[in-house]
Structure 1
Amino acid sequence: MNKPLSAGLCLLLLCPLGAMADGPFDGTWKIDMSKVQMPKKPDVLVLKDGMYACKTCVPPVSIKADGQDHPITGHPYLDSIAIEVVDAHTVKETDKKGGKVVATTTTTVAPDGKAAHFEFSDSSNTNGAPVTGNGELKQVAAGPAGSHAISGSWVTATIANMSDNGTELTYKEEGGVLDMTTPTGQSYAAKLDGTEAPYKGDPGINSVTVKQAGKLSMVETDKRGGKVVGVLTSTVSADGKHMSMIFDDKLRNRTMSFVAVKQ
């Protein structure tokens, strides 16, 4: 599992939601991982002739697969990547920022090459303990002849055993202002009229707007450097116990959906 996918996955699960004056979003919510619908658009990886490439990363990545740190530019969550080829079916990725390890992912491809299991630890956008978990990939297209088993086009089939700090969110609305906090250190205080506000604790997002889109719905727009990087539409159920969300990743042109349960 490449870093942008894992980080991107963490980013999607930690992304905040809005609330209305009546307070239907107030409280702590926990994402139900069994109901997460991952993006259908695949990630394209190639590991061949000692070189590793993530063709769908934004921006794309192309480095030597020699286990050494190689500088990466344009990624807010990391500034170097090391790709270690463990064996013919296993690859370990280590991401760093400022010389500090911020994420590791170990991916093992099944003997038939059609599926893969990954385990990750990611603190690239957390101010506390890393978010951890594991999951399964499904290959939708094979890599080039003579390449490592990890090569090809992959979609994430499932994510499991996600740590609580990566699946919980707390909201409080008062006086037309929504306060959001997460266990990993993200926060904002935004008016519910769409006024732009600072987003704190995430190197990939620096401003946010939250606007009512219906009686029980809100649309949140996240920006980095003035550019929209993600749009999250959330709708609370009539009984106030569940929240359905659709996240549109504008950078990577991917969409995912999930459900949160009020605690």
Structure 2
Amino acid sequence: MNRLASRIILASVIALVLPAGVSAQTANPVNGTWKLNPEKSTVKDGRALPQSEIRKYEASADTQNGVIDRTDAQGKTSRIEYTAKFDGKDYPITGTPDADTIAVTRVDAYAIKAVEKRAGKPVIHITRNVAKDGKSMTIEFRGTTAKGEKIDRVLFFDKQ
């Protein structure tokens, strides 16, 4: 095979493989904006659901950024923010009275487990699952708030 033909074949292979590799890195199913669907959410703790909640996630292979904009049942707005690696170590979380750190572990491409802590003590255990079709997400919360109130709920979100 001559040199020109070899270069054409190599260029063709790179053109086919490179986009697949790039999309595999950016195709994390949690990335994007999620809106709370109260009708599909389940509350076992007797506390009211937020009036609204929008979650924005940006996750890479080893790190996740989360921004949660919430309007509670009384109309008070808040913003929770964090950046955490999927290594189970504690990272700062702001905007919530219930926790000052969050530790996140990836279960698989669609699920994570997290623990929110206050003063080093675990207070809320979280399991997040994105549906295989990438259109919906559930987040389970179990634990106790800073006020000592029980949390036991599953929130359902639709991808926007």
Q: TM-score, normalised by structure 2?
A: 0.69
Given candidates 82, 107, 126, the residue that maps to 1:232 is 126
The answer to whether the Cα contact below 8 Å between 2:29 and 2:109 also exists between their aligned partners in 1 is: no
Q: 1:204 to 1:216 in 2, by over 3 A?
A: same
Total equivalences in the alignment: 125
Given candidates 164, 180, 184, the residue that maps to 2:66 is 180
How many percent identity over aligned positions?
24
* 1:128-173 Cα deviation digits (max 9, x unpaired): xxxxxxxxxxxxxxxxxxxxxxxxxxx45x758x1x3xx1110101
1:210 pairs with 2:87: no
Query: Rg larger in 1 or in 2?
Result: 2
1:198 pairs with 2:84: no
Per the alignment, residue 14 of structure 2 pairs with none
SS of residue paired to 1:25: coil
* 1:176 Cα deviation from its structure 2 partner: 1.4
Per the alignment, residue 135 of structure 2 pairs with 241
The structure with the greater share of residues assigned to helix is: 2
The answer to whether the Cα contact below 8 Å between 1:247 and 1:256 also exists between their aligned partners in 2 is: yes
Q: Distance in 2 between matches of 1:231 and 1:189?
A: 17
Q: 1:30 to 1:208 in 2, by over 3 A?
A: same
Bigger relative contact order (CA 8 A; separation at least 6): 1
Per the alignment, residue 34 of structure 1 pairs with 39
SS of residue paired to 1:23: coil
* 1:33-58 Cα deviation digits (max 9, x unpaired): 1012111x5xxxxxxxxxxxxxxxxx
* 1:193 Cα deviation from its structure 2 partner: 1.8
SS of residue paired to 1:196: strand
Q: TM-score, normalised by structure 1?
A: 0.43
Unaligned runs of 5+ in 1: 1-19, 42-154
